[in-house]
Structure 1
Amino acid sequence: MNGRGWGRGRGRGSDGGRADDGDGGRARDGDAVRLRSVSRRYGAGDRAVTALAQVSLAFPRGSFTAVMGPSGSGKSTLLQCAAGLDRPTSGSVSVGGTELTGLSETGLTLLRRDRIGFVFQAFNLLPALTAEQNVALPLRLAGRRPARAEVREVLRRVGLGERARHRPGELSGGQQQRVALARALITRPEVLFGDEPTGALDSQTGREVLELLRGAVDREGQTVIMVTHDPVAASYADRVVFLVDGRVHGELAGARAEQIAGHMARLEAVPC
């Protein structure tokens, strides 16, 4: 399948994509997530490992960003720090203007519950619950009693309006990931984070999930930040940010899958 080139006003270079090494972390109105000089180190002394090194990035509201890079480049660490799942060693992260650095663990938990959605490669559905019960779970954990119509509507949006009473074991992998997406969207999060959300799916089913993510951005104004290794998946995004050895190594806007794949091949060919 060819990449779709979903550029949103960033402009394309002569090859259909634009590499950019500018200051991605400078403050701008309308940013859903902002990282400023974020570093994350694990361990101490000679055994310390730097997963992120002085990363500055801004993710505008209503945009779809893919994050790519070679194995060990820091993609998942960036996602975890941006989503408040991990604390940076230095630097700052803000979500919707809320600075995460000074939040307590309880504060971070509440922020993730109320303002952030997650979709992972593993669907993480509870097997004993129906699709609609799985979708309603985040609201119940927040002390809300969700209306059945509200749950059915979000299931309808992901194409599962007729499968509300089916349990995960009665659904295909793609349908389970749609339930997971509906569960993430039910809270109307400010930001939706995806960690290889199509990694466990076949190509056709993966495209269907990507179309849903793209639609959530275009029709609902959702902000999506997705880590992926797949150039086709990344081509659904407005821009692709590349990491190498924990540092931002440029980006492409409005690029097709083959252009993204070519850029990745060049990054992986650079000697460490």
Structure 2
Amino acid sequence: MDVVQLNNAHKRYGSGDNTVTALDAVTVGFAVGTFTAVMGPSGSGKSTLLQCAAGLDRLTSGSVTVAGIDLGGLSETELTLLRRDRIGFVFQAFNLLSALTAEQNVALPLRLAGRRPKRGEVHAVLESVGLAGRARHRPAELSGGQQQRVAIARALVTRPEVLFADEPTGALDSTTGREVLRLLRTLVDQHRQTIIMVTHDPVAAAYADRVVFLADGRVADELRAPTAHSVAERMTGLELGAPC
């Protein structure tokens, strides 16, 4: 079953001669408990796809559903509630509050939702990302990789249907980045978490079950059981304009 589905999705910016088509008749699904990487040359539409699939931006036409809910029929307030309760986000920038401890940063989405966090649930999420012993540390006392793990824990604390990750290792060195990618892989394998990750890195994409390639706003190709080498080959073909 697809937890996220885009059907004939179009996204255009501007009007008249200044119209830019970011998504052009995209139809793609993302199954429950899978890890998908979205790749493509600069300007291919991958970030727009993530934003529209996550309800951060609206399609011009077509549809996107998350957990069976058609986002096109939701008001802005309803979209906000859906993102808060059913969708998790991890970005290149960790976006942690420097004055708060790791456990306080993780608990923040629950507090913003009007819930009093149970200490046990916050610690359980920190433990799942390997930071049980860092709960009372502030961001300045944590490495970059540990800060990204806190950001992942914060995204997971609401038990989202899907976790969207936009270049989650972009600000990390290669060794630390691989640690974060192994964590994402573990969340899929052991907890059936659905992850959709935008990346430009073939090594990062190789941790996914599937890679969806975009070019000029369209789905250009798809690769199952990817390796860094096979992903790099497909990306080279797209960037040179060669058929995949």
TM-score, normalisation: structure 2: 0.98
Q: Distance in 1 between matches of 2:154 and 2:145?
A: 14
1:200-239 map, 5 Å: 200-239=171-210
Choose between structure 1 and 2: higher helix proportion.
2
Q: Specify the alignment match of 1:122 in structure 2.
A: 93
Q: Pairwise mapping of residues 170-209 of structure 1 onto structure 2 (< 5 A)?
A: 170-209=141-180
**Aligned-partner Cα distance in 2 for 1:198–1:230:** 9
Does residue 217 of structure 2 align to residue 263 of structure 1?
Answer: no
Partner of 1:148: 119
What is the CA–CA distance in structure 1 between the aligned matches of 2:111 and 2:186, rounded to whole Å?
26
Residues 174-225 of structure 1 deviation map (CA, whole Å, 9 limit, x = unaligned): 1100000000011100000000000100111111111111111111111000
Q: Deviations over 1:206-256 (max 9, x none)?
A: 111111111111111110000000001000100000000100001000021
Higher RCO structure (Cα 8 Å, ≥6 apart): 1
* Aligned-pair Cα RMSD in Å: 0.7
Structure 1, unaligned stretches of length 5 or more? 1-29
Give the fraction of aligned pairs with identical amino acids, expressed as a percent: 73
- Tell me the residue number matched to 2:33: 62
1:93 matched to 2:64 = yes
1:125-157 superposed Cα distances (whole Å, 9 cap, x missing partner)? 011110000000001111111111111111111
CA offsets 1:90-133 (integer angstroms, 9 cap, x no match): 00000010000010000000000000000000001011110000
Segments of structure 2 that go 5 or more residues without pairing to the other structure are none
Q: Does 1:81 align with 2:52?
A: yes
* Match of residue 136 from structure 1: 107
Q: Residue 57 of structure 1: SS of its match in structure 2?
A: strand
Match of 2:223 among 246, 252, 270: 252
Aligned counterparts, 1:103-114, within 5 A = 103-114=74-85
Task: Letter of the 1:98 partner, please give it.
Answer: I
Could you tell me how far apart the structure 1 residues matched to 2:126 and 2:175 are?
A: 20
State the one-letter code of the partner of 1:175: Q
TM-score normalised per structure 1? 0.88
Matched AA of 1:56: T
Aligned to 1:21: none
4+ residue segments displaced more than 2 Å: none
Residue 270 of structure 1: how far off its partner (Å): 1.1
